[in-house]
């Protein structure tokens, strides 16, 4: 619905401007909780700009006061008691701050009314002398946009607004002792506005209350003048218009004090912790990437491998698989004396120049012996690392393929 029934617009000073959110406007107990449990959001909102034109056009609803149940239900935890971001607090804090700016920078628009309705324009009204003399004035049709803006109190009294004007050309000093009356919904004539409330030769907005219990103004109003021991006079013009009460957006809610909750310290992450997290993410991504590649190879299509990286190897060692590895190959570049070859010069086959093993973070696979110049092996499912062992005097290049 919005804070203003007919929409809102910027004040003259705030129009076409931007405003920084004022975190100091948050209720004290609430601000303490937010700073303790969501300091990052608190600091971020303190540096946020709000466009006033857009804010007024959005006509936001006022926020509701936060309860302790709202706050507790908005918290979430992970293992170790570390709080996760509280989206409810973020939303509530933002709504509170923005609405505070709205109250200062925006005003409610008045309803658009029909100029042919809501008004009585009488001319050449003769005011007789004496008491309880009656002068009919006519009827007024009051629009819902005007009527519904008035305030009805619990005892039935009505607070309403008018625009009044009159001119006096005869008996001006004495011709004010009269009342404009209306015929109430209970069939009784009710004094509404005394003559001296009408300004002479001008118009003015004035508000009144009808303190007559449950008597109400009907929407179609029958009006007249009743004299009250006044002198005779003539009113060339008498203007009575019913106007809407100025709409005011509801204030910020009263935030009841919330119980003080223990402050949860932010997690301390050492460099070693961060490295372990990154390595674990890398392992998981490698596994997922390889599984996706295996699926693609299974469902069909031309399976081509490209080199993702390489490493010179000798002796013994172990490496994490490069992200996306689907296979590895080993090219022997140096052969030691312990490698048996054929008698035909450059060997066509080797006799166990070394071996590799796959690791999944828990254990290792059986050895796979490097016994050929073209040594390529597909990565088994779940493999995260590869280790090697080459006999003395052998060296080579380990290539990661994906």
CA atoms within 13 A on the CB side of 234: 5
Go through 372-393 and write b for each residue having 16 or more CB atoms within 10 A of its CB, e for each that does not: eeebeeebeeebbbbbbbbbee
Q: Cα(117)–Cα(217) distance, rounded to whole angstroms?
A: 15
User: For each of the chain's 402 residues, which pLDDT tens digit applies?
Assistant: 788 988 999 999 999 998 887 776 666 666 766 666 666 666 666 667 889 999 999 999 998 877 767 666 655 544 344 444 456 667 777 888 889 899 999 999 988 889 889 999 999 988 888 899 999 999 999 999 898 888 888 787 888 899 888 877 655 555 678 899 999 888 889 888 888 888 888 889 999 888 765 567 788 999 999 998 877 888 888 999 999 988 889 888 877 666 555 554 555 556 666 667 777 777 777 666 666 666 555 544 445 778 888 888 888 989 888 887 888 999 888 887 777 655 554 544 566 788 999 998 888 888 888 877 778 888 888 888 999 998 888 888 999 987
Judge: domain 275-401, CATH 2.60.120.1300: yes
What radius of gyration do the chain's Cα atoms show? Answer: 43
119-243 and 275-401 share one fold: yes
Q: Cα(159)–Cα(208) distance, rounded to whole angstroms?
A: 6
Of 151, 147, 137, the closest CA to residue 113 belongs to 147
Write down the domain spans for the chain.
Answer: 8-108, 119-243, 275-401
Place of tokens 């450059």: 346
Helix (H) or strand (E) holding 224: strand 220-230
The pTM (predicted TM-score) of the whole model is 0.51
Of 74, 58, 63, the closest CA to residue 27 belongs to 63
Count CB-CB contacts under 10 A for residue 281. Answer: 11
Architecture of the domain whose range is 119-243? Sandwich (2.60)
Q: Cα(263)–Cα(265) distance, rounded to whole angstroms?
A: 6
Any idea what the Cα angle at residue 230 is, between residues 225 and 232, rounded to 5°?
80
């Amino acid at each position: 619905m919005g804070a203003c029934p007919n929409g809102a617009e910027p004040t003259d000073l705030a129009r076409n401007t931007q405003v920084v959110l004022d975190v100091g406007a948050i209720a004290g107990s609430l601000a303490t909780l937010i700073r303790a449990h969501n300091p990052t959001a608190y600091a971020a909102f303190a540096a946020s700009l709000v466009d006033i034109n857009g804010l007024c056009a959005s006509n936001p609803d006022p926020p509701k006061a936060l309860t302790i149940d709202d706050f507790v239900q908005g918290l979430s935890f992970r293992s170790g008691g570390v709080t996760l971001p509280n989206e409810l607090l973020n939303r509530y804090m933002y709504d509170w701050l923005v609405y505070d700016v709205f109250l200062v920078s925006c005003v409610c628009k008045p309803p658009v009314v029909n100029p042919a309705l809501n008004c009585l324009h009488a001319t050449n009204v003769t005011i007789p002398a004496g008491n309880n003399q009656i002068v009919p004035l006519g009827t007024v049709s009051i629009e819902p946009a005007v009527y519904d803006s008035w305030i009805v109190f619990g005892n039935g009294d009505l607070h309403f607004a008018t625009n009044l004007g009159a001119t006096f050309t005869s008996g001006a000093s004495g011709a004010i002792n009269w009342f404009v009356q209306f015929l109430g919904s209970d069939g009784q004539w009710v004094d509404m506005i005394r003559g001296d409330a009408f300004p002479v030769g001008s118009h003015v907005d004035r508000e009144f209350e009808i303190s007559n219990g449950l008597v109400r103004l009907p929407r179609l109003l029958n009006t007249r003048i009743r004299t009250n021991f006044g002198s005779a006079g003539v009113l060339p013009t008498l203007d009575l218009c019913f106007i809407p009460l100025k709409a005011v957006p509801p204030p910020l809610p009263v935030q009841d004090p919330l119980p003080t909750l223990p402050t949860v310290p932010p997690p301390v992450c050492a460099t070693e912790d961060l490295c372990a997290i990154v390595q674990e993410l890398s392992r998981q991504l490698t596994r997922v990437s390889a599984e996706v590649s295996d699926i693609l190879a299974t469902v069909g299509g031309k399976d081509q491998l490209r080199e993702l990286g390489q490493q010179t190897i000798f002796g013994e060692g172990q490496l994490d698989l490069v992200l996306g590895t689907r296979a590895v190959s080993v090219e022997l570049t140096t052969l030691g004396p312990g490698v048996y070859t054929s008698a035909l010069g450059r060997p066509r086959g080797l006799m166990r120049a070394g071996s590799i093993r796959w690791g999944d973070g828990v254990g290792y696979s059986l050895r796979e012996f490097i016994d050929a110049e073209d040594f390529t092996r597909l990565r088994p499912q779940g493999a995260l690392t590869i280790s090697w062992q080459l006999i003395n005097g052998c060296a080579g290049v380990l290539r990661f393929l994906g």
